[in-house]
């Protein structure tokens, strides 16, 4: 599918990845409708910090993906839907799992049901590497078993299966993109990389973290955005789940050391029990095999491998170190 000239709806446009995706789509000249979560203040999340040129080029729709009428209204006249809206904080999913079912599962159902009724040309649904749980083999292909080790991951498994069922049953042109751990400017401090950076940037020489031994495959947000664009345009990806990751495995402890090195600081790490997942819920190892993504689209990460990870961290640190950006966060405070 040629995306040029198509009206594209982005749900979750006010969030971390969504705002970067919207900016890229607008820069590429696409017609973009940004679905943001309604609130009484009229704020638009990270889009409030977008350039005047970006905002002038956008249609903004304020609503809630849990509302099928609002979703259908937002999708009217759109030919492509990039569905990112979700609750994603794993610790909060232990606290309020019902909210995750409503937002992640029912929200995705609303999107694919509306896409069926409106005959939308392409729907890209956002999954997560968390659906795999702890690696049974590495690197992890799309054939890896699904393991719901947290309420969050369980609802994302459900959302993925709802989307794929609508392709199988009704021919809705769905692609499921499965990013591994995305990081970069604007990410919530509930994620480990911003947690480390903001504590160091605020002057701490002892930082508080949870488990240090689990490994992750971190992808810089610009690479994830490129993955969305590539899959949205790829006819061969319809009906498929496709991994997007850097192909580089690193532990949380090593990540903290590398960030400190990039920031020119020496820090000690203190264990914080409040940040630990329940033992059987911790995903111990994630490492992406993005072979299918390369074969289908030619996509490769610009920030892959250890050198690429360091470059991505440098860009991320530079953004968080700006006092205007750091002021948005509460360094050292644990946020569910």
pTM of the shown model:
0.97
For 12-150, strand residue ranges (E) read: 31-37, 58-63, 80-83, 122-126
- Could you tell me if residue 98 is left (phi over 0), alpha (psi between -120 and 50 degrees) or otherwise beta? alpha
Tokens representing residue 255 in the block: 């990540």
pLDDT tier for residue 335 given thresholds of 50, 70 and 90: confident
Class assignment of domain 192-214+249-285+308-326?
alpha beta
The pLDDT assigned to 201 comes to: 95
For residue 190, the model assigns a pLDDT of 87
Q: How far apart are CA 287 and CA 257, in angstroms?
A: 19
**Class for domain 7-183+218-247+287-303, per CATH?**
alpha beta
Model pLDDT, residue 273: 83
The residues with which 75 forms a beta bridge, in sequence order, are: none
CA nearest neighbour of 129 among 112, 146, 105, 114: 146
Domain ranges of the chain: 7-183+218-247+287-303, 192-214+249-285+308-326
Which pair of structure tokens corresponds to residue 115?
A: 């896409």
Statement: residue 124 has pLDDT above 90 = yes
Average confidence score pLDDT of the chain: 96
- Tell me, what's the pLDDT at 175? 99
């Amino acid at each position: 599918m040629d995306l040029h000239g198509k009206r594209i709806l982005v749900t979750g446009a006010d969030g971390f990845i969504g705002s970067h995706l919207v900016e890229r789509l607008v820069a590429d000249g696409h017609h973009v409708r940004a679905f943001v979560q309604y609130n009484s203040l009229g704020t638009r999340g990270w889009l409030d910090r977008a350039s005047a040129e970006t905002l002038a080029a956008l249609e903004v729709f304020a609503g809630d993906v849990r509302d099928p009428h609002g979703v259908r209204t937002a999708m009217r006249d759109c030919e492509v839907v990039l569905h990112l809206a979700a609750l994603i904080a794993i610790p909060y999913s232990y606290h309020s799992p019902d909210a995750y079912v409503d937002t992640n599962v029912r929200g995705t159902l609303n999107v694919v049901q509306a896409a069926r009724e409106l005959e939308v040309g392409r729907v890209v649904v956002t999954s997560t590497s968390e659906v795999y749980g702890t690696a049974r083999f590495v690197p992890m292909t799309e054939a890896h078993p699904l393991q719901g080790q947290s309420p969050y991951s369980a609802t994302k498994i459900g959302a993925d299966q709802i989307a794929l069922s609508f392709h199988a049953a009704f021919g809705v042109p769905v692609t499921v993109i499965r990013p591994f751990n995305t990081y970069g400017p604007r990410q919530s401090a509930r994620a480990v990389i911003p947690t480390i950076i903001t504590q160091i940037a605020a002057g701490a020489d002892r930082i508080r973290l949870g488990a240090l031994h689990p490994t992750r495959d971190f992808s810089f947000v610009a690479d994830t955005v490129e993955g969305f664009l590539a899959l949205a345009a790829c006819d061969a990806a319809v009906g498929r789940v496709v991994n997007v990751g850097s192909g580089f495995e690193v532990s949380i402890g090593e990540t903290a050391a590398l960030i400190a090195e990039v920031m020119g600081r020496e820090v000690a790490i203190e264990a914080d029990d409040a940040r630990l997942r329940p033992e059987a819920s911790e995903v111990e190892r994630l490492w992406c095999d993005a072979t299918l993504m390369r074969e289908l689209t030619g996509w490769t990460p610009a920030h892959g491998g250890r050198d690429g990870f360091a470059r991505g961290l440098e860009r991320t640190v530079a953004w968080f170190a700006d006092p205007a950006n750091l002021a948005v966060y509460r360094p050292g405070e644990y946020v569910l």
